[in-house]
Amino acid sequence: MSFVSRNQKGTNGTYTFSSRPRPVENRSKYREKAHSTYGNIMYDRRVIRGNTYAQRFLSTEDLAEMQRQQELRRRAIAQKNKTKEQLRSSTPEAVQGRKHNVVQTELYLEELSYNIELSHIECQTDPLLDRPATPLFIPAKSGKDVATQIEDGELFDFDREVQPLLEVLIGKTIEQSLLEVMEEEELACLRAQQRAFQELRNAELAEVQRLQEQERRHREEKERRIAQQREALRMEKETVEKIAARAYTQQYLADLVPTVFQSLRIHGFFYDPVEKDIETNFFPWLMAEVNSKLEKRNAARQLLDTLIHDVAQKKLPLYTNLETRPEK
Amino acid sequence: PTIPPTTSEPTLDISEMTGVHIDPSRAPVAFGRLAIPELFAQLVEPDAARRLRALASLCDLTHDPERLYQVVSEGFLDQLEVLLKDGDAAVRTRTCELLHLVTSHNIARQALLSSPLLARLSQLLDDPSPLCRTRAHRVMNSLALLPAGAKALQALVPKLMLKLQEEQEEKEEEVQALLLSTLSCCSRLDAAPALSHRGVTLIGRKLSHACSNIRREAAGAMMALSVIVIAMSQVCEAAVLPVLADLLRDQDVDVQANAAGAIMNTVVITTGKHQCLELDVLPVLLELLSQRKPDVEEEQRRKALVLYSLRALTSLAEAPEGRRRLLLQLPLLVGRSEPPEEDADIRRAARTAVNVVTWTP
């Protein structure tokens, strides 16, 4: 069959393989003749049938079956061994009171043991022998000998050369220290100045306070005196006014009393009780009685008047008639 | 290899110089203009040891005014703010030291005052590390010596008073002295905040401290406080005058001078006058006046003392009792007001004293 498969390097160097599908040949065990018949894959034992996604589990029945078969097999073997043992002949048992013992019967007895006789033999080469020291290699002298040496003072004069270095070092150090000292001195100077100023200021401040206090005291004293004076004046004025008022009142009230009595008398506050009584009780009653009497009389007179009037009235027509009649 | 900074160990072995750090506690310094920027760039590294070394080199460099100017003008001071919040105490301490060095120059002081570093510094006053606190106090002190600084620090006075109260438990003398000095500088500008926080009582307690520095600073602070009338009456009430009178007999000239100054301020009010006359301060002051030291420098140091004593005597002479006693001592005062006395200020003060003593209503 021609190979229709191809494996070649792909375009980017990957390996590809492709082949045409071909049917499976049915090869016999012994390669006798080259006859190839196509087998039926349905009956091919190499083909797995059924679910290939998961492993095929043996059913429990099969498992028990397998175990039983294993047991059987084991028992058969044991049986076989046992029978083999039985077939082998053995010596009879020892008589009572005696014991069988294993004994060697060879000519030369040998010790039977599991320990193997050993003997240790070692062999070693000598450790490294000391290498003899290499002889000093002194090459043969060749060429001219030349020597040189730097004497003192040839390269440079140390004292002179070190000057600038020293100057720089010491200069810097001293400069730094001078700076610091000047700084402190300046600060001390400032502080001393400040102190002197403060002292003066404090002294002057105290003076100012003293003067202020003095001023305050004087002022208060003055004010107190003025107040006192004012008070005294006021008292005096008050006294004068009091005196004047007193004189005036005295004078005013001198004839107050008789006037009062007079007016009282006028208004009738001083009265004779009997007279008063007569006035108040008796006279009104008298007057009332008189009045009533007069009233009665008046009433009587009026009655009489009315009587007369009535009569006159009644008589009037009569009299008029009388008057007219006589004329007739 | 650069020229090593002068404060490093002097190993002048050439073989060691090549490429190896000479002083292991300091970072190597670049040459010229790049020194400062490069060191500041190293300050933001995460490793604290490297930051410390860079700070040490910076401390050395800032002694030079040129470098300092570079630091200030290129605005590196603000980077220090981050360092002040650093976790490592040594870094914070070194930063404070650097700031202290920086405050010795005016531009740096002004830059400091206008930057938010001040707020950060005030937080450092509560730092757990005592050395850091000391340095922070030093920076505050050197700032307070400047009037603009004192004005800026006015807001901190309540906090400083609180610190003063706390410091009584600790025995940090330097911190106390610095604190009192800062307070006196601030109070010279405006004594009201310190007064309102019980300044008189707190400072009065420090007057009898063992250390003469603290006594001097406390007396100075008391003097600064007592220019206000309220303070004067507080001083009289709080019985501080006897302590001040004791301080007049102290060993240290500065302590005496400051005590005399405080007394001079307090005797302006009548209560002060009466108390001082009761305490018999007059003879002490007269004695201080009559002492003359042969050494010119000593005399200069005593100038403040003499001035203050004269002023105190002037105020005391306003009370009738004082006047009577001083009339007896008139020659001494006249002696000080005459030309043999070199100092014009003392002469003037003495003349005023004489005038007051010989005044009649």
Q: What is the DSSP letter of A41?
A: G
Over range B142-147, report the average pLDDT.
85
Residue B161 located in a structural domain: yes
Query: Is A206 touching B (CB cutoff 8 A)?
Result: yes
The residues facing A168 across adjacent strands are none
Pair B260, B291: CB distance under 8 Å: no
Task: Give the span between the Cα atoms of B199 and B189, in whole angstroms.
Answer: 15
Query: Is B102 touching A (CB cutoff 8 A)?
Result: no
Answer whether A205 sits within 8 Å of B227, measured CB to CB: yes
Answer whether A206 sits within 8 Å of B312, measured CB to CB: yes
Query: Is A225 touching B (CB cutoff 8 A)?
Result: no
Answer whether B223 sits within 8 Å of A202, measured CB to CB: yes
* Best CA proximity match to B267, nearest among B235, B221, B220, B303: B235
Report domain extents, chain A.
Answer: 58-92, 272-322
Pair B300, B293: CB distance under 8 Å: no
The residues facing A18 across adjacent strands are A6
pLDDT digits (tens, 9 = 90+) for B9-46: 555 555 555 555 667 788 888 888 888 888 888 888 88
Pair B315, B275: CB distance under 8 Å: no
Within 8 A of A212 by CB-CB distance, chain B residues are 268
Q: What pLDDT is attached to residue B18? A: 56
State whether B120 and B162 are in the same domain: no
Task: Give the span between the Cα atoms of B266 and B200, in whole angstroms.
Answer: 12
Q: What pLDDT is attached to residue B239? A: 82
Work out the number of other CB atoms within 10 angstroms of the CB of residue A299: 10
Query: Is B219 touching A (CB cutoff 8 A)?
Result: no
Distance from CA of A215 to the nearest CA of B (A): 11
Distance from CA of A248 to the nearest CA of B (A): 47
Domain boundary, last residue among B84, B115, B146 = B146
Within 8 A of A199 by CB-CB distance, chain B residues are 257, 303-304, 307-308
Residue of B nearest to A177 (CA): B6
Nearest to A209 among B3, B265, B308 (CB): B265
B295 pLDDT band, cuts 50/70/90, is confident
Within 8 A of B322 by CB-CB distance, chain A residues are none
State whether B37 and B127 are in the same domain: yes
Answer whether B104 sits within 8 Å of A210, measured CB to CB: no
State whether B258 and B298 are in the same domain: no
Within 8 A of A194 by CB-CB distance, chain B residues are 145
Decide if pLDDT at B309 tops 80. yes
Look at chain B and report how many structural domains it folds into: 3
pLDDT above 90 coverage of chain B, percent = 0
For residue B223, the enclosing domain spans 153-278
Of residues A306 and B294, which shows the higher confidence score? A306
Work out the number of other CB atoms within 10 angstroms of the CB of residue B350: 25
Distance from CA of B140 to the nearest CA of A (A): 16
* Best CA proximity match to B248, nearest among B200, B203, B335, B308: B308
Query: Is B315 touching A (CB cutoff 8 A)?
Result: yes
Within 8 A of B227 by CB-CB distance, chain A residues are 205, 209
pTM (global) more than 0.90: no
Residue B211's Cβ-count burial label (10 Å; 0-12, 13-18, 19+) is middle
Cα-to-chain-centroid distance, residue A233: 76
What does pLDDT average to over chain B? Answer: 81
State whether B69 and B133 are in the same domain: yes
**B residues 34..73 contacting A (CB < 8 A):** 63-65
Answer whether A200 sits within 8 Å of B311, measured CB to CB: no
Query: Is B136 touching A (CB cutoff 8 A)?
Result: no
Within 8 A of A169 by CB-CB distance, chain B residues are 3
CATH number, residue B89: 1.25.10.10
Distance from CA of B257 to the nearest CA of A (A): 9
Within 8 A of B352 by CB-CB distance, chain A residues are 207
Residue B3 located in a structural domain: no
Q: What is the CA radius of gyration of chain A?
A: 90
Q: What pLDDT is attached to residue A10? A: 57
Query: Is B223 touching A (CB cutoff 8 A)?
Result: yes
Cα-Cα end-to-end distance for chain B: 83
Q: How many beta-carbon pairs below 8 A join chains A and B? A: 69
Decide if pLDDT at B271 tops 80. yes
Among the listed ranges B10-19, B113-122, B235-244, B265-274, which one has the minimum average pLDDT value? B10-19
Q: Which parts of chain A sit beneath pLDDT 50?
A: 1
Distance from CA of B259 to the nearest CA of A (A): 12
State whether B99 and B135 are in the same domain: yes
Decide if pLDDT at B244 tops 60. yes
Task: Give the span between the Cα atoms of B211 and A259, in whole angstroms.
Answer: 97
Answer whether B264 sits within 8 Å of A203, measured CB to CB: yes
Query: Is B111 touching A (CB cutoff 8 A)?
Result: no
Residue of B nearest to A169 (CA): B3
Q: What is the DSSP letter of B44?
A: T
Answer whether B307 sits within 8 Å of A203, measured CB to CB: yes
State whether B228 and B239 are in the same domain: yes
State how far the alpha carbon of A33 is from the alpha carbons of A27, A29, A36, A38, A93, in Å: 10, 11, 9, 15, 66
Phi, psi torsion values for B172, nearest 5 degrees: -80, 100
State whether B109 and B164 are in the same domain: no
Task: Give the span between the Cα atoms of B346 and B338, in whole angstroms.
Answer: 10
**A residues 159..198 contacting B (CB < 8 A):** 168-169, 172-173, 176-177, 179-180, 183, 187, 191, 194-195, 198
Query: Is B328 touching A (CB cutoff 8 A)?
Result: no
Answer whether A206 sits within 8 Å of B6, measured CB to CB: no
Q: What pLDDT is attached to residue B1? A: 47
Among the listed ranges A1-5, B223-227, B236-240, which one has the minimum average pLDDT value? A1-5
Answer whether B311 sits within 8 Å of A206, measured CB to CB: yes
Pair B143, B104: CB distance under 8 Å: no
State how far the alpha carbon of B16 is from the alpha carbons of A297, A308, B7, B12, B24, in Å: 171, 180, 18, 8, 12
Answer whether B307 sits within 8 Å of A200, measured CB to CB: yes
Work out the number of other CB atoms within 10 angstroms of the CB of residue B314: 27
Residue of B nearest to A180 (CA): B63
Query: Is B149 touching A (CB cutoff 8 A)?
Result: no
Within 8 A of B314 by CB-CB distance, chain A residues are 207, 210
Find which of A176, A200, A209 to mutate to test the B interface (most B CBs within 10 Å of its CB): A209
Answer whether A177 sits within 8 Å of B6, measured CB to CB: yes
State whether B54 and B98 are in the same domain: yes
Q: What pLDDT is attached to residue A171? A: 94
Query: Is B227 touching A (CB cutoff 8 A)?
Result: yes
Within 8 A of A166 by CB-CB distance, chain B residues are none
pLDDT digits (tens, 9 = 90+) for B272-293: 888 888 888 888 888 888 877 7
Within 8 A of B221 by CB-CB distance, chain A residues are none
State whether B274 and B293 are in the same domain: no
Residue with tokens 């033999």: A121
Residue B17 located in a structural domain: no
